[in-house]
Structure formats: structure tokens, C-alpha cells
């Protein structure tokens, strides 16, 4: 799926916070091989390098546009790969992924494979959105199904891709010595016109917009903006509050 780095980075500070929260809970002191899956523009990969300057760090992404921007960052290796088919060239001390793996199917197969790529004592650390039942995300489908573009968009609509926390415990615990799972609901304070639409446009809405022609995109965005403003009305000070739930998973192997 093509990504627009500029659109995604409009809310870079908000998107970075859960990445740092995940990073701060990783129980490693001096890993050698570190992989960042779904590295995007590399703004999180840099944080990994700053924490572990002696590690060999590889940022992996399947977006040519994202990696073109990331490739300007020195001291990090960059690899273009389909994350669903990726395997590390060497056993990993850390496989880290922030807001990427929910795009991939078959989490049972995926997470078991990722654990198998870890070196002894290695860690898998993952953050995924779990906000898909909130209006920010359900309105994406609602607008798709109730507009003249339904025939185009219905085949590419996805059900919520991230399961309940207990499901991931069941996947990770048989292979891991330590499993740490938690959820956080962030309250993002957003500024500007149509901020919820602009946020979702950079992620969950993106595949749908790619399937529409230029006029349809304008009409789709306008209808989503109208409904989002009802669900997330601007406050008297002009700010808009967006609650956003995220799931965190850390698994360490022996």
C-alpha cells in the first residue's frame, strides 16, 4: 500500500509517544541485532539507535516513499521488504514494531514466526492500535458503505484487525519466558480544521482514498469530516479531543 510520509507525519509528536512508551519497557541493556519492523520514515528507529548506540539496527518497511525519507538518517541500515514475508538475516536480539503489524493478516502465524526469529534472551516488542470500534474508525466504513462509491470500497473494507489482549497472551505465552501486555488510552489534543479526518487520512482511511478518483476523494473526505465533527466536536478553545486506545506486547524468550 502506498504511504504519504507528509500526511502521516502531520501528527508525528502524538504518534511518537506510544513508541517511546513501548521502548521504555524493553528489558534489554546491550542488544546486538535490532530490527524495527514498519520503520516508516525512521523517526522511531532513531530512538532505538539513541538508546542502543552500539547495536546494529535495521529499519524495515515496504514503502519506497517512507524509506526514501528514512534513508537520509545515518548509522542505520534500511531494508525494503514485505513484512508478512520478512525474515531477519541474523537472529534478532530485539524485534520492535510500532503501529505496523495490525496491517498484516493471520496474527497467530505472524507472532509465532517472529518469536522464532529471536536469539536466546531476545525480545519481541509490539505496539498496535486498538481503536477500531471507536467512531474515528467505524465512520471510515460507514461513509464507505453509504455513499455512491460502495461498490468500489466494500471489497477492501477490513474488520478490526487487532484482537483482545488475552488472545495475544495465548499466542505468546507458549514460546516466551516473560510476557508483558497492557493497554493505554491516550487523549490526543488536536488543533486545526478537521483534525480527526486528517489523523485517520494518514492511516486507516488511506487504502480507501487510494481506490477513489479525485472527485470521489473530495466527497468522501467531506462526508467523513461532517460526521467526525459530530462525534468529536471542537471545544470552546478550538481544540479537539481524540481518545485513542493502543495495545502493547512484550515477550522475551529464554
Span 3-13, pLDDT tens digits: 454 444 445 67
Overall number of domains in the chain: 1
H-run or E-run covering 217:
helix 214-231
Tell me the Cα Rg of the chain: 19
Backbone phi, psi, residue 29, to 5°: -105, -40
Backbone phi, psi, residue 157, to 5°: -70, 145
Question: Whole domain around residue 46: which residue ranges?
Answer: 5-252
Q: Is the pLDDT of residue 14 over 90?
A: no
Contact 96, 125 (CB under 8 A): yes
Average pLDDT for 13-35? 94
The SS3 of residue 114 is: helix
Q: Is the pLDDT of residue 90 over 60?
A: yes
Could you write out the DSSP letters of every residue in 139-172?
HHHHHHHTSTTHHHHGGG-----S--HHHHHHHH
Q: Is the pLDDT of residue 122 over 80?
A: yes
Residue 13 confidence (pLDDT): 76
The Cβ of residue 173 has, within 10 Å, a number of other Cβ atoms equal to 13
Residue 12 confidence (pLDDT): 63
Span 182-222, pLDDT tens digits: 999 999 999 999 999 999 998 999 999 999 999 999 999 99
CATH code (residue 93): 3.40.50.150
Amino acid at each position: 500500500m502506498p504511504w504519504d510520509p507528509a500526511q502521516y507525519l502531520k501528527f508525528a509528536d502524538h504518534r511518537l509517544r506510544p513508541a517511546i512508551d513501548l521502548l521504555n519497557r524493553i528489558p534489554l541493556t546491550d542488544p546486538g541485532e535490532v530490527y524495527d519492523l514498519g520503520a516508516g520514515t525512521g523517526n522511531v528507529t532513531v530512538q532505538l539507535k539513541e538508546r542502543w548506540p552500539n547495536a546494529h539496527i535495521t529499519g524495515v518497511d515496504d514503502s519506497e516513499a517512507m524509506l526514501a525519507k528514512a534513508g537520509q538518517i545515518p548509522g542505520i541500515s534500511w531494508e525494503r521488504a514485505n513484512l508478512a514475508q520478512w525474515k531477519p538475516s541474523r537472529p534478532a536480539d530485539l524485534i520492535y514494531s510500532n503501529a505496523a503489524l495490525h496491517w498484516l493478516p493471520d496474527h497467530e502465524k505472524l507472532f509465532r514466526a517472529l518469536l522464532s526469529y529471536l536469539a536466546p534472551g531476545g525480545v519481541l516488542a509490539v505496539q498496535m492500535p486498538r481503536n477500531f470500534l471507536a467512531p474515528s474508525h467505524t465512520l471510515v466504513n460507514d461513509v464507505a458503505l453509504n455513499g455512491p462509491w460502495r461498490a468500489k470500497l466494500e471489497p477492501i473494507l477490513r474488520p478490526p484487525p487487532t484482537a483482545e489482549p488475552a488472545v495475544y497472551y495465548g499466542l505468546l505465552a507458549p514460546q516466551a519466558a516473560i510476557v508483558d501486555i497492557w493497554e493505554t488510552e491516550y487523549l490526543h489534543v488536536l488543533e486545526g480544521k478537521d483534525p480527526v479526518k486528517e489523523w485517520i487520512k494518514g492511516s486507516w482511511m488511506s487504502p480507501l482514498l487510494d481506490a477513489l478518483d479525485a472527485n470521489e476523494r473530495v466527497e468522501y473526505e467531506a462526508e467523513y469530516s461532517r460526521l467526525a465533527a459530530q462525534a468529536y466536536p471542537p471545544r470552546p478553545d478550538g481544540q479537539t479531543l481524540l481518545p485513542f486506545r493502543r495495545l502493547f506486547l512484550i515477550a522475551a524468550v529464554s
